[in-house]
Structure 1
């Protein structure tokens, strides 16, 4: 296992839409192990493959480990099937935007479909912080970072602050 370097915005790879994962292979399993090690080392609660330079539709997440309840999960080729109209607004950090915390609005619940490491399609309703974390990581797969979720004036100010 290895701690991988995390790309930092404005690296152009973070703005690209990722390709589908073709198959669960031994190389993919190794990448997943490295991504978890990287995420925990950072320390974060989620990490998308493009954040470590792999432009594939996959992310890892363990939204409860910092609370002493580890629940590591892998989401390969995820699709958000539904989002609630009920919104939560809160501060979000990002491992690719270190030191920057931005106020973002997200759906409080989502229905997510994905493939797990066994190659089995899964579907679940995620709510609360799990839903918010999954939406954040899913955004990375489409080349979206939290800055893109801000109003233009707020984004310009945050970018200037981050890049200074």
Structure 2
């Protein structure tokens, strides 16, 4: 298993909705290992399989370098709190750019494990933000879509300038 190349903005695949995982087999375990390896290599806090060009509903999250890697198959948000939290977000698919995004502060979610077992939990704080960010990606919602039009346009211009300057 190995880290895979990332899909980079503005690739239209970043707006593609992922399909539900239906087979909990060795191929899924191999994909999960590649996704975890890519989180470490990127380095990233979280990645959806969409970030590596695989359109299945799989997310890997590691909140800190020494933290346990968490895997979520077919994650879905069951409820959100009325309270919100503002957190700086970005994407490894758009390096060097981040903006503040407001999201619900707490969520209830359900997901499957790699064996197909159903799990449910609540998440709050930074984990809730990361989960919402990655589930958005599975739904074809790139993090920029959560910004106002003005902030989104400015972020894209900054990214284009970074790319030009890097050449």
Q: Does 1:45 align with 2:42?
A: no
Separation of aligned partners in 2, 1:12 and 1:145: 10
1:71 paired residue among 60, 68, 72: 68
| Contact 1:102 1:146 survives alignment (8 Å) | no
8 Å contact from structure 2 (residues 35, 60) kept in 1: yes
CA contact (8 A) 2:50 2:56 kept: yes
1:123 and 2:120 equivalent? yes
In structure 2, which of residues 134, 140, 144 is the aligned counterpart of residue 143 of structure 1?
140
2:80 pairs with 1:83: yes
Q: TM-score, normalised by structure 2?
A: 0.93
Question: Which residue is 1:93 aligned to?
Answer: 90
How many residues of Structure 1 are paired with residues of Structure 2 in the alignment? 161
Cα deviation, residue 62, structure 1: 1.4
Task: State the 1:93 CA deviation.
Answer: 2.1
Number of the residue aligned with 1:153: 150
In structure 2, the gaps of 5 or more residues are 162-167
Q: How far apart are residue 58 of structure 1 and its match? A: 1.2
**TM-score scaled to structure 1, two decimals?**
0.94
What is the DSSP-based 3-state SS (H/G/I as helix, E as strand, rest coil) of the residue aligned with 2:28?
helix
- Does residue 24 (structure 1) correspond to residue 21 (structure 2)? The answer is no
1:101-120 map, 5 Å: 101-120=98-117
d(CA) in 1 for partners of 2:97 and 2:24?
34
What's the Cα RMSD here?
Answer: 1.0
- Tell me the alpha carbon deviations over residues 55-101 of structure 1, each in whole angstroms, 9 at most, x when there is no partner: 111111111x33x3x22111111110001111111211211111111
